[in-house]
Structure 1
Amino acid sequence: MPKNTTNQIQNKHLKQKQFLYNLLLAIYLSSLCSAFSQNISLEIITNSKSEDSLISKYFQNIEFDSFNEMTEEINQTKNKLYLEGYLQHKFHNLKKNSKENYSLEFFSEKKTKQITLYIYDTKTLNYLTDLDYKISKNSIKIKPQEIREILPKLTQNAAEIGNPLTTFQLINILASEKGFSAELKVNRKENRNLTKVIIKGYSKFPKSFIKHQAKLKTPALFQKKKILDKTKTLEELDFVSFSKAPELQFKKDSTSLYLYLDKKNTNTLEGFLGFSPNEDESKLRLAGYLNLNLINNFNQGERTNLTYKSNGDNQQILNLNTNLPFLFKSPISLSTGINIFRQDSTFSNASQTLETSLNIAKNTFLSTSLELEQSTTSQNSENTNTKPYKKQIYSGKLSYSKTKNSTLQPQSAYLEFIAGTALRKTQNPNTTNQFIASLNAAYNFRISPNHNLHLNNQTALLKSTNYLDNELFRFGGINNIRGFKENSISANLYTTLQTEYRYSPSSKIYINTIIDAAYYENNLSNQEDILYSFGLGTSLLTKAGILKLNLANGIHNNQKFELSNSILHLTLIANF
């Protein structure tokens, strides 16, 4: 036989042997796995239907992968029965009937409706008294079912009073002729203090916000719930976000709070254009403003605002304001501002403001300010109600602001109330005493996830024995009553109400109605009026920023509706 033919036959036999070996190995492994994967079943032997129902209710499984798993299920069921008041129940006589089958006898005995719980820890007794439990000889009467509810409360209370590692254990459970009794053993550790607050991620986060904004001071008594509630105050800061939830670390001699923060770029540039018909020409009047907000660029939480406005009628406004929070790590914040108002060639007003504020509560500030205002008028002005003057304004302010995590609708509540006195001096040597007050308030009512009602009120009052036209308030336009020209109405008293019903089909858009109203008085011209405006609008979240379109028609009291009086308000807010 040729050599090649012999090799082919040998290779064929080797392949057949290899195939047979692999087949036998697979059969062996399959049988081995089958043997190890056989379940253990447990039969519970009872003596009544009531015991059957208890087993059905509290015994979750009767088949197990191992003997240890079966005993663990028995122990868990025993704990459940104890908490339900079956303090005398018994599982006994566990038998192995075969390799895969066990049996166990169950006796429920009588259900205990009440247990006397003895407590020798004063703090625990005081807390139970606050929960309206009647204490008698260091003990309380309690249903077994209530133990399951009260133990977590005791643990939480211990953490709130500075003992977060306290443990509670039921011991000495005894049965007597009077009933069941047990002792609540309380193992208290020494009071713990919060010793450190550690920032992870945003290492240059201004630490003064932890102490004065969140009111987290170290060392301080450790109270878990209060500490975590205080950290939520930082979530309302617009220049920071949490990358993960705060964590606590307990060591033998210290307790540390870890805050995982990321810096957010929240600088904004807001541009506004208002289109309205020109009364004198067949052209559109163009009004607008630019509003620049620079926030936390130097990692101090500082804010700078620059605003320029033009109403299309030769009226310009320039505002520059800066806020320095928690100056020199103190609870006091400092704000300065410059305001310039110019009405064509008739007059111009310039003022400087210095304000100090104190954070008195969560999101709440109390402020005092001094404002120096000076007005100059044109000698050629035909308006006899304008005169140059100098004014000193002393005022106090209470402000509250709350925000939510929403790009399109970030502000949920805002309140600012200002009241003060002013001393006005003109070329007449007499000094006029004045009273000034204002209220700005806004609230976003959440009706449902897609529906909101937004309300915004602005009110201002100047009370004086006589008035000058160049010191009166100016209002009207996008920020108070839409459908009217920007700052086209002068008054010594006005109040406006903006209302918007907002429908949000998604987080990137909402459509809103516009129903605004205003009332004002001008004692200089003996004029008062009620104003209304109606319209529709929308806000869109685009790649460029937030785009707002609002079309409103303003109406004076007893005036007919004319579509030509409508004003289109176009606003774009860009973050950078």
Structure 2
Amino acid sequence: MTGNNKQESKVIDSLDYLKTHKDYGSVISEIDTIQKKLLKIGYFENQQNTIKINDSTYQAEFHLKNRYKKIYIYYDKNLVSPSVIKMISKQVFDVYFILPIESVETALNFINSKQTEKGLPFSKLKLSNINIKDADTLTADLMIDDYENKRIINAILIKRYEKFPKSYLKYYLKIKPNQLFDLSTLQRKTEQLNNLRFANQIKAPEVLFTKDSTTLYIYVEKTKSNTFDGFLGFGTNEQTNKIDFNGYLNLNLVNNLNYGEAFGLQYKSTQNQQNRFEAHVMLPYLFKTPIGVDCQLHIFKQDSTFTTVDQVAKLHYQIDSRNKVFMGIKSTQSSNLLNNTSNTGISDYNSNFTTFGYEFTKAQPYNLLFPIKTNIYAESGFGKRRHTDTSEKQTILNFDAFKIINLNAKNSLYFRLNGNSLVSNTYFENELSRFGGINSIRGFEENSLLATSYALINTEYRLQLNNTLYIHTITDMTLLENKITKTNEKLYGFGFGLGLLSKAGLFKLNYAAGKSDNQKFKFSNSKVHLSLIANF
């Protein structure tokens, strides 16, 4: 390809065209591509002639002529808002705006997408009355053809999973009849179906246009969302030198009534004679409103020392598919089971709190092993504790968040920050936080650590060997404060683990050893944790 002079040839060479071709059709296609590139950068008057040198060589001669660098586009404010024009041009006036020639196509596509968002999917844009203003400037009129009135969604039909709870369309996806039709927005919203535990999207939404109606078809399938899991842990008891076993069972039932509801039941028994029973119910979108309710019951018993019963009722509001806020009440009753009532560390008490919470969840649904990428939960509670004839103000703070940083398809980093604090003037042993074990700091017995406040960091480097198998490191650290015993400790957990996804569920094995600042590392302090999460 050559130009009419050296300067034109230099412009053509800068377009980086392909010189070798398999046939004549490819040659013609390449010439056509170069002409379109010349038009985009302002050579509207260019002319071209193809010359056959011999059976295998052709020469394309271009005469570029004048280059236009900018264009004045006149528009109607009633058809296009100036605020939209200001998003594509820095020179906007009452009746026209100025664009560089090379950005015209992109700008028109942007304006057309904004027209689509207004419910006009069949609108067409074009420039007409194109004239020369001066040596490097053109003028044109922006024309918009709307063949019909604005389109709204008249009906929404769910295919494949017809019993899908309709409230999730209105409040979770924010899709409802009589909305303006915008296909790109609808596609973005329906992708959020993959964030639900009980359903996912099997293909992109489709639309049926008739003369006077618009029907949206959404394709969803019901997924296995019930889970049953448990773990078995064992380690050497330092006092008896015997192996102690501990574990728990956890059942979660989700959307069995096609309402989006959730029910959970957990029972845990640990080697230090602790028993915990937990039950919770979540009912979303009560009476077809964006308000849902959460109810929880926790019963904890420490051998023959004390029992504590927590009752929680919360209302939640689903802001969108990722954000949720809570408000509720929490009531606690604890009873001292000891015959010796002179023990001041454990006492009968009642407490009531008003709680406020926030939750953020971001999914990565196409990763079977790690479907949740980010989760943040923060809660605060303000109330009073009553003991005998005294009353004392208290504040509870709770924070739990984790994030997965994907380095590439196989390597990732996992970070979790968990903290809890009880703010009070005095404390009883039976109201302290209890943690430790596979779900908190690994390498320690389940619920063996007591604190008035603590901050916990879990980190893992994960190597995903395939879609169903991964291995990881374990590095945990906890800062613990107990104002009853007036102690501050730093605790560490180190180890490794693996996860295997099979037809039976997700199997996890963790091996970790725990130590404190003033304690030497010992393999005899290590713990092995096994768990299996089965979906059904």
Normalising by structure 1, we get a TM-score of 0.82
Going from structure 1 to structure 2, the CA distance change for 1:495 and 1:105 (only over 3 Å counts) comes to closer
Q: What pairs with 1:554-565 in structure 2 (closer than 5 Å)? A: 554-565=514-525
**Given that residues 346 and 381 in structure 1 are in contact (C-alpha distance below 8 angstroms), is that contact kept between their aligned partners in structure 2?**
no
Task: Tell me the distance in 1 between the aligned counterparts of 2:439 and 2:243.
Answer: 21
Secondary structure class of the residue paired with 1:221: coil
Q: Give yes or no for the alignment of 1:551 onto 2:511.
A: yes
Tell whether the 8 Å contact from 1:59 to 1:77 is kept in structure 2 after alignment.
no
Taking the TM superposition and a 5 Å limit, the aligned residue runs for 1:155-194 are: 155-175=112-132, 180-188=138-146, 189-194=148-153
Flag structure 2 segments of 5+ consecutive residues without an equivalent.
52-58
User: Is 1:380 aligned to 2:339, yes or no?
Assistant: yes
Give the corresponding residue for 1:303.
Answer: 262
The letter of the residue matching 1:449 is A
Question: What secondary structure, in the 3-state scheme, does the structure 2 residue paired with 1:86 have?
Answer: coil
Aligned to 1:394: 354
Partner of 1:16: none
- What's the % identity of the aligned pairs? 34
**SS at 2:446 equivalent:** coil
The reply to whether residue 333 of structure 1 matches residue 292 of structure 2 is yes
Asked whether the 8 Å contact 2:325–2:359 carries over to 1, the reply is yes
Are 1:465 and 2:428 an aligned pair?
A: no
Aligned pair partner of 1:246 in 205, 223, 236:
205
- The aligned counterpart of 1:153 is 110
For residues 10 and 66 of structure 2, what CA distance do their matches in structure 1 show?
A: 15
Relative to structure 1, the CA distance from residue 184 to residue 475 in structure 2 (aligned partners, 3 Å threshold; closer, same or farther) is: same
Cα gap change, 1:557 to 1:59, in 2 (>3 Å): closer
What code does the residue aligned with 1:173 have? I
- 1:127-162: per-residue Cα shift (whole Å, max 9, x none)? 222323423563334443322222211211211233
Inter-CA distance 278–255: structure 2 relative to 1 (3 Å threshold):
same
Matched, 1:135 2:92: yes
Change (3 A) 1:52 1:335: same
Deviation at 1:47, TM superposition (A): 6.5
Cα distance change, pair 112–279 in 1 and its aligned pair in 2 (3 A): closer
Larger Rg: 1
Deviation at 1:209, TM superposition (A): 0.7
Aligned equivalent of 2:379: 418
Corresponding residue of 1:28: none
SS at match of 1:300: coil
SS at 2:238 equivalent: coil
- Cα shift at 1:445: 1.4
Map of 1:409 onto structure 2: 370
Give 1:359 deviation, angstroms: 1.3
Instruction: Quote the Cα distance in structure 2 between the aligned partners of 1:454 and 1:300.
Output: 33
What are the superposed Cα offsets for residues 303-335 of structure 1, whole Å, 9 maximum, x if unpaired? 111111111121100001110111121111111
Residue in structure 1 matched with residue 56 of structure 2 by the alignment? none
Aligned runs of 1:476-555 on 2, under 5 Å?
A: 476-555=436-515
Shift of 1:292: 0.8
Distance 1:351 1:77, change over 3 A: closer
What is the aligned partner in structure 2 of residue 36 from structure 1?
none
Q: CA deviation at 1:563?
A: 0.9
- Conserved in 2, the CA contact under 8 Å of 1:125 and 1:138? no
Displacement of 1:394 in angstroms is: 1.8
CA contact (8 A) 2:187 2:204 kept: no
Listed one character per residue, the Cα deviations across residues 214-271 of structure 1 (whole Å, up to 9, x for unaligned) are 1223212334443332223222101111111122333333333321101001111111
In 2, the alpha carbon distance for the partners of 1:453 and 1:346 equals: 41
Determine helix, strand or coil for the equivalent of 1:412: strand
406-415 or 264-273: which moved more? Answer: 406-415
For residues 154-188 of structure 1, the C-alpha deviation after alignment (integer angstroms, 9 at most, x for no partner) is 21121123322211122223346666433222213
User: Which residue identity does 2:373 align to in structure 1?
Assistant: S
- Measured in 2, the distance between the counterparts of 1:512 and 1:525 equals 36
Give the Cα–Cα distance (whole angstroms) in 1 for the partners of residues 2 and 250 of structure 2: 80
1:79 is displaced (CA, Å) by: 5.7
Amino acid at match of 1:411: I
1:230 counterpart (178, 189, 214): 189
Q: Is the 8 A contact 2:2 2:8 kept in 1?
A: no
SS of corresponding position for 1:310: strand
Counterpart code for 2:123: T
What RMSD in Å do the two structures reach over aligned CA positions? 3.1
- The superposition leaves residues 473-520 of structure 1 with CA deviations (integer Å, 9 ceiling, x where unpaired) of 111111111111100111211111111111112221111111111111
Q: 1:472 is aligned with what amino acid? A: L
Query: In structure 1, the residue corresponding to 2:212 is in which secondary structure?
Result: coil
Distance 1:50 1:530, change over 3 A: closer
1:106 CA drift (Å): 7.3
The aligned residue for residue 27 of structure 1 is: none
- Return the alpha-carbon distance in structure 1 between the equivalents of residues 177 and 133 of structure 2: 51
Instruction: State the aligned residue count.
Output: 521
In structure 1, the residue matched to 2:66 is 110
- Cα gap change, 1:486/1:75 in structure 2, threshold over 3 Å: closer, same or farther? closer
Secondary structure at the counterpart of residue 130 of structure 1: coil
In structure 2, what is the Cα distance between the partners aligned to 1:477 and 1:131? Answer: 56
Q: Which of these residues, 258, 261, 275, is aligned with residue 217 of structure 2? A: 258
Assess, with a 3 A threshold, how the Cα gap between structure 1 residues 277 and 229 changes in structure 2: closer, same or farther: same
1:349 to 297, 308, 317: 308
Distance 1:55 1:345, change over 3 A: closer
Mapped to 2, the partners of 1:443 and 1:87 lie a distance apart of 52
| CA distance in structure 2 between the aligned counterparts of 1:547 and 1:138, rounded to whole angstroms | 67
CA contact (8 A) 2:310 2:330 kept: yes
Change (3 A) 1:283 1:212: same
Deviation of the 1:104 alpha carbon: 11
The separation in 1 between residues aligned to 2:134 and 2:80, in whole angstroms, is: 28
1:419, 1:438 within 8 Å by CA — same for their partners in 2?
yes
